[in-house]
Every structure is written in C-alpha cells, then in structure tokens.
Amino acid sequence: MSKKRLIGLLLLVGTLSGCGSGDSMESFGGPTMGSTYSIKYVRHAGLPGVAQVQPEVEQILTDIDRQMSTYRHDSDIERFNALPANSCQTMPAAVLELVRVGEQLSEQSEGSYDLTVEPLMNLWGFGPQGREEKVPSAAALAETLQRVGYRHLRIDGDRLCKDAPVEVDFNSIAAGYAVDTIAARLEAMGIHDYLAEATGELKARGSKLDGSAWRIALEEPRDDQQVVERIIQVDGYGVSTSGDYRNYFQQDGRRYSHTFDARSGAPVLHNLASVTVIDPRTVMADGLSTLLLILGPEKAWDFAEKHQIGAFFVIRADTGFVTRTSAAFDRLVGVKN
C-alpha cells in the first residue's frame, strides 16, 4: 500500500514450548503495504490452523490495499484523489471511518495533523509522485498549500466529497486500522492469545504459549543499527512508533524528514526523534504517534498529558538520546485488561 516505515518495535516472542497440553504456537506472515506483516497466535484445542487463518488475514490486507493505497491508481482513495474540486464519490465504510479518525486528530492538533498532505509529500519528494527530495521554492509551496486542508473534506451519507482539489493519504493510520481489523477477525475465530503486526504497528492480547506476557522492545531511533531502548509488556493494547530517522534527506546542513506540519507545509525540524504510543485501538496509536511527532517534544508532552495518552518520547540531545514517558504510559505498561 505504501512505502511505510518499519520503525521502533521489535517482537520478543521467546519460548515456543508449551506445557504438555497439546497447544501450539502458530505463526505466518508475508508482504503488505510496501513492507511486511506477521501473525503469531496460540492454537488451543479446537481452534483453526494457519491454513484457515492466513487467508482471512490476507483478504483483510488485500481489501485495505484496494481501498486505501496511494501507490495504485485503481484504489478507491486514488480515484477520489484524481477528482476535481466540488466532487463526491461513494466510498467503502472503512474509508469513511478513517476520514472521521483523521478529522478528530486534525481538530485536536489544531490542523497540524492532516490526512490531505499528499501534495506536500510529493512536492518534497516523499510521496508516491515525488520525483526529487529537495526543498521547494516558496512559490511552489504556497501553491501546493492551496490543495491541503482537512476542512475541504465532507462526508455525505456513503459519499466522500471535497470542495478543493485535495488528496487524501491514509499512510499514518491505515496500518493501525489493518491491525485492529485483523485482531477483530482473530477474536471472531476464537483466538484470544495473539500478536498481530503490520508494517511495524502491532496489537497483542493474552499470553504466549508458556503463559508469559507478550514483550515488545522499543528501539533507539538510529538508522545504522538496532539498539533496544526499553522492553514493555502488552496485553489488549495497540502499539505504534513514529520517527524521523528512516526517511529523510539533508540539504545545506539541515535534516528534512517525511513528517509534515500541515499548517506550514514543511517537514518538522525539532529534536523529537521518535514517539511510541499505546492505545486500546491501534489505529489511534498509529495516528497519535504521528500527531505527537509533528508537535515536537514540549507541545507533544503537554498534549499527551492533557489527553491522557500513553506515550514514550525519545529526544535528541548533545550527548545522544534522552527519553521521557507520560503518566498514562507508566500506568499502562505491563497492565493486563
């Protein structure tokens, strides 16, 4: 679906041995959204095997790609993006749901987070139609900003409408939505001990085969090697990390990441390197990690505290990295539902 960054989260599966009950740990995965997905679950007696579960999961991923991909011209959202101003198009319920999630995040962030940043991504060279990673001219930026703004979108029944030639990009929430949808399908199949991951966004519930908790390693935000910053236990929560250290370019001594503030139309330039968010809904963890990364270390901290968001911040400093956690993060880590 996208050239999604696989950032920040390592799965620590641990032992695959059981306790003689006949239960087993099942796992499968494959390519998706320009990256990969993986599913691990404990198969208790009477539960379906991989041959039944994998097609269900891959159908969900196929549907989401067909509906929301900005890297295929025949997707529902790209057909909408190609429409001129003052147009409407009937959309799947999933697309409308994500537009509503995006609107909520935009309102909360006073427009810093915005689903309609695809023209900016392309202008700066990060999007599906981007040609060269470089700082654009002031005139080009001003022209492009005329085609950005979540308030130009409107839902009318089962139709998505726009009053300006805006283009929607779901890359900041689609993977989280995919994980939530997969988790719901697993639950419906009677599977309640699982870890579902897509492009680095994940959700875990229950326990591993040996009864221990699912453990997630949070990476230090480095692009040269993987270094574990902290290990957390997760049960019933989605986890998402957003960072600026895997997709960026440098020009005239300045570093420009693929994370944009929609109000300025430019990549953020602060020293917040990555944010991990824990939330019962992975789609919200996905979107909020991006929102907080946009805001920067001080505003993001205040936002997380105000809205009681479980957030783990990694901030660049002269001596390396420093970390900070919100009060909600400290409460949630290791807590079982």
* pLDDT tens by residue, 137-194: 899 999 999 999 999 999 999 999 999 999 999 999 999 999 999 999 999 999 999 9
Nearest Cα to Cα of residue 178 among 83, 272, 58: 58
Structure tokens, 171: 């890359």
Q: CA–CA distance from 136 to each of 109, 128, 142, 310 (Å)?
A: 25, 17, 10, 36
| Cα-Cα end-to-end distance for the chain | 32
Q: Which alpha helices (DSSP H) does 13-117 contain, by range?
A: 50-68, 76-81, 93-108
User: Which is it for strands 260-261 and 320-325: parallel, antiparallel or unpaired?
Assistant: unpaired
Higher pLDDT, 134 or 30: 30
Helix, strand, or coil here: 279? strand
Angstrom distance (rounded) from CA 29 to CA 157: 36
* pLDDT tens by residue, 273-294: 899 999 999 999 999 999 999 9
Helix, strand, or coil here: 266? strand
The mean per-residue pLDDT over the stretch 224-229 comes to: 63
Q: Which pLDDT belongs to residue 216?
A: 92
The full set of domains in the chain, from first to last, is: 9-66+175-332 (3.10.520.10), 70-162 (1.10.3980.10)
User: Which residues, other chains included, contact 24 with Cβ-Cβ below 8 Å and sequence gap of 6+?
Assistant: 18, 42, 43, 209
Higher pLDDT, 220 or 235: 235
Q: Which alpha helices (DSSP H) does the chain contain, by range?
A: 50-68, 76-81, 93-108, 118-124, 138-145, 174-188, 282-295, 297-306, 327-332
pLDDT at 271 over 80: yes
The mean per-residue pLDDT over the stretch 222-247 comes to: 78
Q: Which pLDDT belongs to residue 128?
A: 65
Structure tokens, 91: 């959309």
pLDDT at 15 over 60: no
Q: Which pLDDT belongs to residue 222?
A: 59
Nearest Cα to Cα of residue 113 among 180, 171, 200: 171
* Sign of the torsion formed by the C-alpha atoms of 32, 158, 151 and 280: negative
Which letter does DSSP use for residue 189 in this model? T
Q: Which pLDDT belongs to residue 246?
A: 56
Q: Which pLDDT belongs to residue 335?
A: 41
Q: Which pLDDT belongs to residue 190?
A: 98
* pLDDT tens by residue, 25-81: 999 999 998 899 999 999 999 999 999 999 999 999 999 999 999 889 999 999 999
Q: What is the pTM (predicted TM-score) of this model? A: 0.89
The mean per-residue pLDDT over the stretch 291-305 comes to: 95
